[in-house]
Amino acid sequence: MEPPPVRGVVFDLDDTLLDHRGSATRALGRWLPRLGASPDAGVVAAWFEAEERHFPRWSAGEITFTEQRRLRLRDVLPAAGVEPGDDEELDRLFAGYLACYQASWTVFDDVAPTVRSLHRAGVAMAVLTNGLGEQQRAKVAATGLAHRLGPVLTPEETGASKPDPAAYLTACARLGLEPGVVLHVGDRHDLDVEAARAAGLRAVHLDRRGAGPTDEPWRISSLTDLPAG
The sign of the dihedral angle between the CA atoms of 34, 36, 41, 45 is negative
With CB under 5 A as the contact rule, the residue among 9, 10, 15, 161 that binds Mg ion is 15
With CB under 5 A as the contact rule, the residue among 14, 51, 110, 164 that binds Mg ion is 14
Burial 109-146 (b: 16+ CB within 10 A, else e): ebbeebbebbbeeebbbbbbbbbeeeebbebbebbebe
Binding mask 181-220 for Mg ion (x = CB under 5 A): ------x---------------------------------
Question: What does residue 12 show for φ and ψ, rounded to 5 degrees?
Answer: -70, 165
Of 8 and 186, nearer to Mg ion (C-beta) is: 186
CB of 20 to Mg ion, least distance (A): 7
Q: Which of these segments, 14-22, 29-37, 52-60, 140-148, binds Mg ion (CB under 5 A)?
A: 14-22
Of 93 and 143, nearer to Mg ion (C-beta) is: 143
Binding mask 93-122 for Mg ion (x = CB under 5 A): ------------------------------
Of 14 and 207, nearer to Mg ion (C-beta) is: 14
Distance set, CA 24 to CA 15, 40, 44, 92, 106 (Å): 11, 13, 9, 18, 10
Q: How far apart are CA 144 and CA 152, in angstroms?
A: 14
Q: How buried is residue 154: exposed, middle or buried, by Cβ count under 10 Å (0-12/13-18/19+)?
A: buried
Site size toward Mg ion, by CB under 5 A: 4
Of 80 and 143, nearer to Mg ion (C-beta) is: 143
- Check binding of 12 to Mg ion (CB under 5 A): yes
Q: What is the DSSP letter of 194?
A: I
- Using CB under 5 A, list all residues that contact Mg ion: 12, 14-15, 187
